[in-house]
Amino acid sequence: MKNWIKIDQPNIDEVNSLQMDLKIPRFICSLLLQRGVNSLDKAKFFFRPELDSLHDPYMMKDMEKAIVRINNALSEKIMILGDYDVDGTTSTSMLFTYFSHRNYDLLYYIPDRYKEGYGVSLESIDYAKDNNISLIITVDCGIKAVNQVEYANSNGIDIIICDHHLPDTKVPEAYAVLNPKQSDCTYPFKDLCGCGIAYKLITAHNLKSENKLNIRSLLDFVALATVSDMMPLIDENRIMVFHGLKEINNNPRLGLRNFLKSNNNKVDESKISFNIGPRINAAGRMKNGKIIVDLLVEEDPNKAMSLSNEVEFLNLKRRATEKDVFENVVEKIDYSKYSNIFYGPNWSTGVLGIVASRVIEKSYKPTIIITDFDQKLLTGSVRSVSGFDVYDALVKCEKYLHQFGGHKFAAGLKIEKSKLNLFSEHFEKTVKEAVNGNMFERKHKYDLEVSFADLTIENVKIISRMSPFGLENKRPVFRSDDCKIIDDLKFVGKESQIVKSYIMDSTNTKIPFISFSKKDELVNLKSSFSILFTTSINSYSGKEQVEIIIKEISSN
């Protein structure tokens, strides 16, 4: 259990003081204090975040310029250009929905992942030119499109960039650039996703419009994008996801309803991460992300059903392709190395990122999965592990790269085939030097030790209301020792990998559990053991029951 690390605990006096104010159990007060909630007022806002607390969109650099340009474009044709992932397609759908209601002349464009690659392509500018577009609004891309923006400018096309990726030293000379990560942008929250920035654009436009629209109804798009893009769920992100989830549950968009049919319980952030998000991404990975925008803006039920069935087919195809590539890769892992770099000539570029993430589950170190892009270039997806800045590592290897972009945990690259071996050697050396000779070790952090007796339905409901969970507001992880299985194990799921039964701790409290990844450990237990787990309320058959989800096991 040397890799089980207890999170720093709050001061006992602070816990006692907060308990007096909130009248809830001390262990829940500790959880709140770990998340910066140290008063009654902060607790009220944490549990009921208000949209009125969102920052003024006009604090963002170039926002005023962007709104003036859009207001002057009512007689022009506008193209919304978004990336092909969840963030890009939801942003595009949201802007198209809003400005359609404002009677703008619009079309949307999603680049072809295989023909054009990521971001603003020269082909997209040519498409705009051929369709008499005079204004392009990019979402979730554009901050590095220096040459493409210059090309658009030379053709009389203005561009407004809405992007959240890190800018290079040179920023494109667009009409307006909305990106809080610009060094000279004083907007107070820097971690919006592309859809979050697009929502700020809509908010700014709505504020200065005579007839106000109900833009709260668009927050479902922001919730989908923010969760899928794994943005930190604090500040504005938490507020917008909180209300966006309400929109999804109370009034689901027509294009989403088919995806939600398999969800018996309400949609939360985990349903987005593991169910809805992958389906949306599958279209861009296996065909073209435009089908997702078609689906999300569709208002005819029959057409929406047909489109969602096609998306479901693409998702099944994605899963099969991903399984083939992963099985090909996983047997080649060299556990003596500090990084994983795998190349296959005919792998689908659409699943490289997913496979890289799955490889990290097997071999916890920075991972790059690479395949052919064209006759001269290879393309790859890069994923990292906690505490290692993979973008910085790529910067140190950039002399071998044709192109790259991303952030510290995920990136993409293109490289000439002839330079792959040199790059692989240099990347491995860079990673090795950065970790000071120590191999990466997965560490499992937990919040508190708790007894099962404290996990009442009332207490677990309070914990669940700390959602939405994600980066910087993690779902609380608990530890219990001296546990025993007290009933036969039941195996469910397509491959019987999911385990269910009952468990008891040292207080002799019996509680049901489920485990999605620890079948072997549970089957081979010989004595009492310790566990790390999360909690949930299982409402199966209309009866509420506390259930724990086992994450890690260690025999005593």
What pLDDT is stored for residue 81 in this prediction?
98
pLDDT in tens, 85-141: 999 999 999 999 999 999 999 999 999 887 887 789 999 999 999 999 999 999 999
Compare 76 and 266 and report the one with higher pLDDT.
76
User: With contact defined as beta carbons under 8 Å apart, do 358 and 324 qualify?
Assistant: no
pTM score, two decimals? 0.90
Averaged over 203-216, what is the pLDDT? 96
Q: What is the CATH number of domain 332-434?
A: 3.10.310.30
- Rounded Cα distance between 532 and 274, Å, is 21
CATH tag for 57-313 (out of 3.90.1640.30, 2.40.30.30, 2.40.50.140, 3.40.50.720): 3.90.1640.30
Nearest to 106 by CA among 132, 68, 126, 145: 132
Share of the chain above pLDDT 70, in %: 98
Nearest to 62 by CA among 175, 206, 207: 175
Q: Could you tell me where in the chain the CATH 2.40.50.460 domains are found?
A: 444-555
User: With contact defined as beta carbons under 8 Å apart, do 162 and 144 qualify?
Assistant: no
What pLDDT is stored for residue 438 in this prediction?
62
What pLDDT is stored for residue 1 in this prediction?
64
Q: Look at residue 203 and tell me whether its pLDDT is greater than 70.
A: yes
- Rounded Cα distance between 98 and 389, Å, is 37
With bands split at pLDDT 50, 70 and 90, how would you rate the model's confidence at 38? Answer: very high
Averaged over 210-222, what is the pLDDT? 96
Measured from the Cβ of residue 330, the count of other Cβ atoms closer than 10 Å reads 16
Q: Look at residue 153 and tell me whether its pLDDT is greater than 80.
A: yes
Radius of gyration of the chain (CA): 25
Q: Which amino acid is at 305?
A: M
Averaged over 168-185, what is the pLDDT? 96
- Rounded Cα distance between 455 and 461, Å, is 10
Share of the chain above pLDDT 90, in %: 82
Q: Look at residue 264 and tell me whether its pLDDT is greater than 80.
A: no
Averaged over 1-12, what is the pLDDT? 88
Q: Look at residue 259 and tell me whether its pLDDT is greater than 90.
A: no
Q: Could you tell me where in the chain the CATH 3.10.310.30 domains are found?
A: 332-434
With bands split at pLDDT 50, 70 and 90, how would you rate the model's confidence at 262? Answer: low
- Rounded Cα distance between 103 and 257, Å, is 26
Averaged over 22-51, what is the pLDDT? 96
What pLDDT is stored for residue 263 in this prediction?
60
Averaged over 78-82, what is the pLDDT? 98
What pLDDT is stored for residue 350 in this prediction?
85
Q: Look at residue 2 and tell me whether its pLDDT is greater than 70.
A: no
What pLDDT is stored for residue 394 in this prediction?
96
Averaged over 370-396, what is the pLDDT? 91
What pLDDT is stored for residue 166 in this prediction?
87
With bands split at pLDDT 50, 70 and 90, how would you rate the model's confidence at 525? Answer: confident
Q: Could you tell me where in the chain the CATH 3.90.1640.30 domains are found?
A: 57-313
Q: 145: which residues sit within 8 A by CB, 6+ positions away? A: 119, 120, 138, 161, 172
Coil, strand or helix: which one is 547? Answer: strand
How is domain 444-555 classified at the architecture level of CATH? Beta Barrel (2.40)
pLDDT in tens, 543-552: 889 999 999 9
Average pLDDT, the chain: 93
Averaged over 218-229, what is the pLDDT? 96
User: With contact defined as beta carbons under 8 Å apart, do 380 and 404 qualify?
Assistant: no
What pLDDT is stored for residue 54 in this prediction?
97
Residue 352 CA to chain centroid, in angstroms? 16
| Tokens representing residue 114 in the block | 């295989």
pLDDT in tens, 321-362: 999 999 999 999 998 999 999 999 989 988 999 999 999 988
User: With contact defined as beta carbons under 8 Å apart, do 1 and 532 qualify?
Assistant: no
User: With contact defined as beta carbons under 8 Å apart, do 546 and 511 qualify?
Assistant: yes
Query: Phi-psi region for residue 437, left (φ > 0), alpha (ψ -120 to 50) or beta?
Result: left
What pLDDT is stored for residue 116 in this prediction?
81
